[in-house]
Amino acid sequence: MSHILTEAEMAVQKEYIEKIRNIVESDKSCGKRRNACVVTYGCQQNEADSERIAGMLNAMGYSIVDKEADADLIIVNTCAVRDHAEKRALSITGGYNHLKAVNPDLIIGIGGCMVSQPAMSDKVKHSYPYIDFVFGTEKIYMVPEIIYTVISKDKRVFSANSGDAVVAEDIPVVRESNFKAWVSIMYGCNNFCTYCIVPYVRGRERSRRPEAIINEVQELVNEGYKEITLLGQNVNSYGKEFGDECDFADLLERICKIDGDYIIRFMTSHPKDASKKLIDVMAKEKHVAKHFHLPIQSGSDRLLKEMNRHYTLDQYLSLIDYMRSKMPDISISTDIIVGFPGETEEDFDDTLKVLEKVKYDMLFSFIYSKRDGTPAAKMDNQIEDSVKSERFSRLIKAQEVYAEENNKADVGKTLRVLCEGESKTNKDKLTGRTEGNKIVLFDGDISNKGKFVNIKITEGAAFALYGNIVE
């Protein structure tokens, strides 16, 4: 059962924030620097969580900085979806040991998916003595209490998840951007896809109340935010605990009643739950960006079953057909895993055929990574690394052709683009994304950052569009 934390429960954490603020302010008045840095790995949900963590640290009186070396408190928000994300987080954190030698006041904490399971939290406790605290994804709201214990009692704290499906409202936030915002609408996952660690580290599915979400979006629109992305591991099962009161399509429709100049995105969808009702709402609401991210994972019905995905290729394709019949210009992206245990050349060929059939605009492809504790990790027909990499390259190569084809078809169109500022890869150009979430590079003044501009597309390559601003 999920539990929306009461105002009284949240007030306890606010008191800890105040207590820490007193300590931090008194340290500062003695000339001590009090900076905090939040380092984030993984998905958008983690980015959203980190903005709340930064919000709490800011309320405690810390100044938020970008560089770990400038910080007196470092929090690493970790990912566990694939092995290399875990290894990277551990090795980076390992490097912080020497920062403690330079700054004995430095406090280091690790949060997020990697340390949500008690076994991993214990490993950190015993193998990383310079880590002061650990908190699981369900304990984020308790960060003030944890930090207070570390500071005032000089104690290490290890708070892995314990199965509390909590929803915490009113946590302060410091957002990275002043025109793009994440809004979590639900937490956790109940699907147990056999390869995936998420249900074990993010706990059971639970939704925020629709009023709380609508209020947050309204505030963002009032503040001038232009792009708001609704987040959940499986947004299509939003609101199940509210009965018929408000499903995801209803929520989207209610949000779109907010007046203003903004677009709404959402992710991630699960093909077994994505409904025609949702597609109908998308088609009629001008605020909803015409982009659908619908992870297929594999084109083989046999593997979809092994993955516990609960849909067939035909069911998936009929959803895509329905989307395109309602929104002919919709852009579609997907996630695919290569090298799932037992994947044969025929299975992989079925996946390649889906690319040819759907002609996705964007593909996020992943090499299967064995996650301890998941059913797929115990399957005895694991695929050799060399086979996985070879299939991965073939998949990417195949997709490049379709992406380029799609992007070339945009040449000559004028598309509305939210300008995100200077391109990181091409400093002379500005960058932004179309409603369909495609990257566009164009010339223009930096004052366009955070604004919608109309771009006439002049060139389409596999990974980006190019164009010019038009009135």
Q: Please give the residue ranges that form the binding site for ligand 5AD (CB under 6 A).
A: 81-82, 195-196, 295, 297, 335, 337, 366, 368-369, 371
- 338 binding partner (options ligand 5AD, ligand SF4, none; Cβ < 5 to 8 Å by kind): none
Which two three-digit tokens encode residue 64?
Answer: 């938020």
CB 371 to ligand 5AD: min, Å: 5
Residues 211-250, one symbol each (x = binds ligand SF4 by CB under 6 A, - = not), give: ----------------------xx----------------
Altogether, the residues listed in the chain come to a count of 471
CB 184 to ligand SF4: min, Å: 14
- 337 binding partner (options ligand 5AD, ligand SF4, none; Cβ < 5 to 8 Å by kind): ligand 5AD
In b/e form, how buried is each residue of 271-298, taking b as 16+ CB within 10 angstroms? Answer: bbbbeeebbebbeeeebbbbbbbbbbbb
- 368 binding partner (options ligand 5AD, ligand SF4, none; Cβ < 5 to 8 Å by kind): ligand 5AD
Residue 333: helix, strand or coil by DSSP?
A: strand
- 342 binding partner (options ligand 5AD, ligand SF4, none; Cβ < 5 to 8 Å by kind): none
Residues forming a β-bridge with 229: 182, 265
Query: According to the binding rule CB under 6 A, does residue 342 interact with ligand SF4?
Result: no
- 371 binding partner (options ligand 5AD, ligand SF4, none; Cβ < 5 to 8 Å by kind): ligand 5AD
Query: CA-CA distances (angstroms) from residue 446 to 23, 422, 452?
Result: 41, 7, 13
Which two three-digit tokens encode residue 29?
Answer: 């008045």
Residue among 237, 232, 278, 241 nearest 256 (CA): 278
Residue 110: helix, strand or coil by DSSP?
A: strand
Query: CA-CA distances (angstroms) from residue 416 to 86, 289, 330, 436, 464?
Result: 38, 11, 14, 10, 15
| Contact in structure between 144 and 209 (CB atoms under 8 Å) | no
Query: According to the binding rule CB under 6 A, does residue 463 interact with ligand SF4?
Result: no
**Closest to ligand 5AD by CB, 82 or 449:** 82
Element holding 452 (H helix, E strand): strand 452-460
| Contact in structure between 292 and 360 (CB atoms under 8 Å) | no
Residues 153-192, one symbol each (x = binds ligand SF4 by CB under 6 A, - = not), give: ------------------------------------x-xx
**Closest to ligand SF4 by CB, 135 or 187:** 187
**Closest to ligand 5AD by CB, 105 or 372:** 372
CB 189 to ligand 5AD: min, Å: 11
CB 193 to ligand SF4: min, Å: 3
CB 285 to ligand 5AD: min, Å: 25
User: Is the CA virtual torsion 70, 23, 11, 211 positive or negative?
Assistant: negative
| Cis before 374 (ω within 30) | no
Residue among 91, 156, 102 nearest 129 (CA): 156
- 192 binding partner (options ligand SF4, ligand 5AD, none; Cβ < 5 to 8 Å by kind): ligand SF4
Residues that bind ligand SF4 (CB under 6 A): 189, 191-193, 196, 198-199, 233-234, 270
